[in-house]
Amino acid sequence: MADSHRHDTVKQMIGIMSDNGWRITEQRREMAEIFARAVGYMSPKDVYDQMTVAYPGVSFDTVYRNLRLLSEMGALEQFYFMEGGLKFRASCLEHHHHHLICINCEKTLTFEYCPMEQLQDLPGNFKIMNHRFEVFGVCEDCQKES
């Protein structure tokens, strides 16, 4: 199961790159692999550190620029953590869900319930095109430790 999910994530990210006119280089394929293996969010430094294993000559600027572009394309979700700064994870495109994020260990849990269904009568005749919903707290494991 884990392998097929990993393969799907790589395929999905490469598909988005391709749809946006990107040439699929070995470096970009490696970046997709890194996110497919990742559990939770990764900082640009985390990604850079893993990229340099296979590509010692890659620059941090190149990695960072690619992360931002992949995020704009919708291949990556980005989030700004108070402590950890800007971090990224592979987007979940196969179905709609939301995240619970531990502010201590950054573990991410998904939940299927969508609070947007409860929103009515938004001010200013606002038309929603997309949304994300994240809840921050402390996971069960971190609560036990403290």
Is there a binding annotation on residue 102? Answer: yes
Q: What is 44-71 written as a DSSP string?
A: HHHHHHHHHHH-TT--HHHHHHHHHHHH
Alpha carbon distance 138, 62 (integer Å):
34
Those residues whose C-beta lies under 8 Å from the C-beta of residue 89, and which sit 6 or more positions away, are 35, 38, 40, 41, 42, 76, 77, 79, 108
142 is in an annotated binding site: yes
Instruction: Answer yes or no: is 92 a known binding residue.
Output: no
Asked if 53 and 37 count as a contact pair (C-beta separation under 8 A), the reply is no
Determine whether the annotation assigns residue 114 to a binding site: no
105 is in an annotated binding site: yes
Between CA 76 and CA 90 the distance in angstroms is 5
Binding site per annotation, positions for Fe cation = 96, 117, 131
Question: Which residues define the annotated binding site for Zn(2+)?
Answer: 102, 105, 139, 142
Positions at the binding site: 96, 102, 105, 117, 131, 139, 142
